Structure 1
Amino acid sequence: MFERLLEAARKLEDASLLPDAPELLLPSVPGEFALDDIRSLAIEVLDKSDTTVVLSAIYVALRSNKLGIQLNDDGADNIALEDIALQIGHMMVPVCSGAAFDKDSTDYASLSLNGFLGLHILRLLLTPTSRGGLVIPTRILLSVIAFTNSDDPWASSSCAELARSFLSDYFQNISPPQAAKPVPFPFSRSTRDVGVERKLSEKRPKTEQERFITEDVLTGFLRPLFAKSRPTAVTVSGRPAAFPEPASRYSQGDGFGGADDIAITKPWKYTQRYAVTVFEWAVENADTDLLQEQWPLYTPILLTLLDEPQPISLKLRALSIFRNFWRLCPEGLLSRIGLVDVFEQAVFPTVLNLPSLTPEDESCDLLAAAYPALFDMAGLEASDSALAENEDVKTESTNDRKTSDKRDLHSSGFSEAQRKLLDKLVREGIMVGYHHAKHHIRLVDFFCQTLRRLDIVPMISEVLVDPFGTQYPPILLSATRLLQAVLQTCWPRIPHYCNEIIKIAMLSWLNIEDEDSFPPHKPTKAELKQQLTRTVEILSAVMAAAKLDMSDRVHPLVAQDPQLRSLFTSREAK
């Protein structure tokens, strides 16, 4: 019946035009047909190459006015409607090809297009506003969730918007489980995966979305996928292992089975990568109460993702998910159950991904994701813009004051464990990273910006007095602002460093003045000099508060080199 429509769909160059222009294929739609005919069309996909063609044909057929019934009517066609929706959900699942990332043969453009068409079809079939109380099968909802993150190569921004809108409408209109059982049209709970009705705790979730997350997503779908790759630091129940043992390389799929063995034990990393997106959605849509009750369902999966070193994109994704999870967790929960150290051991090694073993670009990305996560664990509100472009001086100054205010409000509430983590971050993280990769200018810039919230002077001196620092002005700006943060935060100890700070500002000023071929991009020479002048002003204010005079230290320097007069002019005016 639909042979002509399928042939026209095969000739269509860009099926993504269909949602906006279905008239391209409308002339090929049969005169009249029933849902049974659509169901027959949906189940006759010969191979993956036919998927887009069939989806295009189904979409156009449903959009036409030639269907024998209205899609929002009740009646004998409900079973056919259910079968069609289930088949659409199956066709749009973004299953990837290949078991190795360097040999990935996945056609992501086709997966994205199939998802785009599938989401539009499901919107036509399952409009929540016209079917209040329906229960959509888990398999369909999982297919929709797979497209909620536009960063995935199979999900465009339009796909993500459609998917999130569909889920939001559905869970807003579905009846809560405490109320009367909704009429099973067109689906019933019997279509859900076997075993997902297991009772997880005495206190049941209050909403259908919470029930779906805990039972269908975390227990029914994700737990089996991650079961064979669970880290030994936690038990099956998600609690800290009393006597963790080193994981066997064979048990993790790294034995003689090769790539095929790894793909079997870690399907979430290879063929079913959308499982990470599903877990990410389950974290984003949780709340504090849900995590208080159901945290054991989250922790094994999250630790598995954090322990996976490759690919870099997966590592970055895992760190982002962890930060969301950490922020949503009730305060003190992970400490009470003994998982803080486990998460710290999973995250901290990321800060040692440094050149030359790790390319500089990848290292910058990993460090920019790992340090904020560790600062969250240490009780500091980390800035996520450590590698962003420098902003203008006025805006940065305002932001500095706001950040300083927040830091002061929380400074008295650090636990002993958080203080130890901060110390570890400086000694074993930032300082080790700096000394190991000091020749990589972008990383040095990052370390300076990261250390603006901590007390550090020797590294600042080395950066600012470097005569070649003017070849990359952003690093001088970062180091200068870091020095200002030290002056403002650690002012009681600054008088002991006065001579050293004057020396730093003086040598950096002279290096800038003597540079003839200053790079044209920001920050400019004038901006750098302005920041150094501001640094001297802050130092002068600190010394005045300590009832100490800088004149005896400054006048001999100005007399020796008149170029320094502008640096110390504002101080002398005071």
Structure 2
Amino acid sequence: MSSIKSELVKLLERLRVPTYLSFVDGYATDTDISRLANTFKIQAELALKELQTLIQNATDNKLDDEEIIQIIVTCATFIGEESWTNSDLNKSAIATINSLITLQPKRFPTVTRMIQIFSSEILEKYVKPVFLKHTPVNVEKRSGKLKKQPVDFDIGNESWRGEIAKGSNILRWCILHLKNAEIGKTIGLIIPPTLSLIDDYNVNFKTRGVSILDHLLKELTPDIIQRTGLGEVFHEALSRCLTYQNEESHVSLLRQSFSAIISLISLIEKPNSEARFIKYEQILSNNVVRGFIFSGDKIVIRIILLEQIPNLSQELGIVMVKYLGELIQTICDSLQVTFEFTNKEQIIGLHYAAAKGLEKVISTCWPRIPQYKGRILKSVATSWYQVMRVEVNNNMLKKSLCNICQLLKLVCVQNNVNIKKDIQALLELDSEMFEPLLN
């Protein structure tokens, strides 16, 4: 074995994540584990720098393909948010992978091209075995249906979770560099672990799986989904994720799941088709309108639900009228939440999401809006008063509130409804305050 290959083996061994960190989810909180984690991170940072130097000196094909792949997958395990890594290690790991293209610049003009060349082998050797061994979910090749299978792990020993975390980091790093054609070639290696992550009981893993699927859906073409028959499998898995609305820890999962399922429906269902309308209406009814009830006082969850209204209004059009009463009530209630109630920046975000949703609802459901003119004007005036009183520097929110008033006046004119008395009442209350809003 050459000296450079011998040195590589030593460096990769130094970068192997210790077992005592494999079962720690996210940042270590135990004092002893935290100390050991910090020590490992320092050692890993040094090892990555030495590895970069080794790669720079490895000219004339001194490293073969398997060794290059080992470097890629080892570095990829540090590109995440696990207890054994941090932002500095993320950057160092990415820089180390980037340095590999200097070995064979004609063959690897970019990192993306290098990953595309090795993706099948990486997924087959370093991702597939981990998920086959450790996860209870499999995908039948013919039907594409989820199928439970027995697994051999001790539920009391969570060290196997680290293997899943490392495997998912490698999977995610590969997929970020694959386009439609390459994804199509490796779809059988990508989908099973992705669905396994989404089906996991751990919310962080579920979020990671949905994030991977969301990226895939933005790269895939409808023919791949139709050929594999996975459209309904994805829809079912994402629909389950949309029910996670009870805890603030579900925020990332919920936001990512909405993004993914909207991308999925747009991809697999034809515009203006009945199936498309039905699926979008199910999201509005089951996950947004009903979600407002279950989210309670969890402002961050409510913000995510409000953020879905513009897209759903665009898709459903006048169908939104069926839910107009509930939407107006929730949106107006959100605009009247006081800035002094809790975190001010969070409440400003709530007001902005509500205002943007209300703009779209008024534009979409304008024939039925005049009956709610008093409620809408009151809530907008309340939000405006708070914005101006505490001198909030948020021009986007102010602009949206002004837009709502202009839209409200327009739809009242179109429906021959008088709103001048309502406006005059506000101006008489405080003309200096409300003049910029109303005129």
TM-score using structure 2 length? 0.78
1:336 paired with 2:247, answer no
Cα deviation for residue 423 of structure 1 reads 1.7
**Alignment match, 1:214:** 120
1:498 paired with 2:370, answer yes
Q: Which amino acid aligns with 2:366?
A: I
**Alignment match, 2:278:** 420
CA distance in 1, matches of 2:39, 2:302: 42
Q: Structure 1 residues 92, 540: CA separation in 2 closer, same or farther (over 3 Å shift)?
A: same
CA distance in 1, matches of 2:435, 2:97: 63
Q: Secondary structure at the match of 2:139?
A: coil
Report if the CA contact (8 A) 1:351-1:367 is conserved.
yes
- CA deviations 1:212-266 (Å, max 9, x no partner) are 2211x1111211111134555612xx55446x55x36xx2457xx4423x64xxx
Among 78, 81, 84, the residue aligned to 2:4: 81
- CA deviations 1:374-397 (Å, max 9, x no partner) are 2221329xxxxxxxxxxxxxxxxx
**Alignment match, 1:378:** 265
**Alignment match, 1:162:** 92
Report if the CA contact (8 A) 1:95-1:272 is conserved.
no
1:520 paired with 2:393, answer no
Q: Structure 1 residues 510, 291: CA separation in 2 closer, same or farther (over 3 Å shift)?
A: closer
% identity of equivalent residues: 15
**Alignment match, 2:64:** 135
- CA deviations 1:28-56 (Å, max 9, x no partner) are xxxxxxxxxxxxxxxxxxxxxxxxxxxxx
CA distance in 1, matches of 2:204, 2:362: 38
CA distance in 2, matches of 1:530, 1:225: 51
Report if the CA contact (8 A) 1:377-1:418 is conserved.
no
Q: Which amino acid aligns with 1:295?
A: I
Cα deviation for residue 427 of structure 1 reads 1.3
Cα deviation for residue 283 of structure 1 reads 0.8
1:224-303 superposed matches below 5 A: 224-230=129-135, 232=137, 234-235=139-140, 240-241=143-144, 245=147, 247=148, 251-253=150-152, 257-260=154-157, 263=159, 267=160, 269-271=161-163, 273-303=165-195
Q: Which amino acid aligns with 1:351?
A: L
Cα deviation for residue 518 of structure 1 reads 8.6
- CA deviations 1:402-433 (Å, max 9, x no partner) are xxxxxxxxx98365544333222111111221
Report if the CA contact (8 A) 2:144-2:230 is conserved.
no
Q: Which amino acid aligns with 1:319?
A: V
Q: Structure 1 residues 530, 208: CA separation in 2 closer, same or farther (over 3 Å shift)?
A: closer
Among 427, 431, 436, the residue aligned to 2:289: 431
Q: Structure 1 residues 427, 109: CA separation in 2 closer, same or farther (over 3 Å shift)?
A: same
Q: Which of the two has higher C-alpha Rg?
A: 1
Cα deviation for residue 288 of structure 1 reads 1.8
Q: Structure 1 residues 538, 512: CA separation in 2 closer, same or farther (over 3 Å shift)?
A: closer
CA distance in 2, matches of 1:294, 1:176: 24
1:363 paired with 2:250, answer yes
Among 330, 333, 353, the residue aligned to 1:478: 353
**Alignment match, 2:199:** 307
1:522-537 superposed matches below 5 A: 522=392, 531-537=400-406
Q: Secondary structure at the match of 2:419?
A: helix
Report if the CA contact (8 A) 2:355-2:404 is conserved.
yes
**Alignment match, 2:316:** none
- Which ranges in structure 1 are unaligned for 5 or more consecutive residues? 1-77, 179-205, 381-410
CA distance in 1, matches of 2:438, 2:42: 68
Q: Structure 1 residues 415, 564: CA separation in 2 closer, same or farther (over 3 Å shift)?
A: farther
CA distance in 1, matches of 2:130, 2:280: 35
CA distance in 2, matches of 1:422, 1:253: 39
Q: Secondary structure at the match of 2:225?
A: helix
Q: Which amino acid aligns with 1:337?
A: T
Cα deviation for residue 446 of structure 1 reads 2.7
Q: Which amino acid aligns with 1:428?
A: N
- CA deviations 1:451-503 (Å, max 9, x no partner) are 13233532343235549623455334432221112233x1xx41232222x12
Cα deviation for residue 159 of structure 1 reads 2.9
Cα deviation for residue 291 of structure 1 reads 0.9
- Which ranges in structure 2 are unaligned for 5 or more consecutive residues? 314-319, 342-346
Higher relative contact order (CA 8 A, sep 6+): 2
Q: Structure 1 residues 569, 211: CA separation in 2 closer, same or farther (over 3 Å shift)?
A: closer
CA distance in 2, matches of 1:99, 1:415: 47
Cα deviation for residue 556 of structure 1 reads 4.4
Q: Structure 1 residues 223, 121: CA separation in 2 closer, same or farther (over 3 Å shift)?
A: same
Q: Which amino acid aligns with 1:164?
A: I
- CA deviations 1:108-137 (Å, max 9, x no partner) are 223322221222222232326733574251
Higher helix share: 2
Q: Which amino acid aligns with 1:88?
A: L
Q: Name whichever of 79-88 and 554-563 sits farther off.
A: 554-563
- Report the aligned-residue RMSD: 3.9
Cα deviation for residue 560 of structure 1 reads 6.5
CA distance in 2, matches of 1:114, 1:508: 56
Q: Structure 1 residues 115, 331: CA separation in 2 closer, same or farther (over 3 Å shift)?
A: farther
**Alignment match, 1:118:** 47
**Alignment match, 2:337:** 469
Q: Which amino acid aligns with 1:554?
A: I
Q: Structure 1 residues 320, 465: CA separation in 2 closer, same or farther (over 3 Å shift)?
A: closer
Report if the CA contact (8 A) 2:48-2:92 is conserved.
yes
**Alignment match, 2:20:** 97
1:190-205 superposed matches below 5 A: none
Cα deviation for residue 305 of structure 1 reads 1.0
- CA deviations 1:261-300 (Å, max 9, x no partner) are x64xxx3x23563222111111112222211211101111
CA distance in 2, matches of 1:509, 1:140: 57
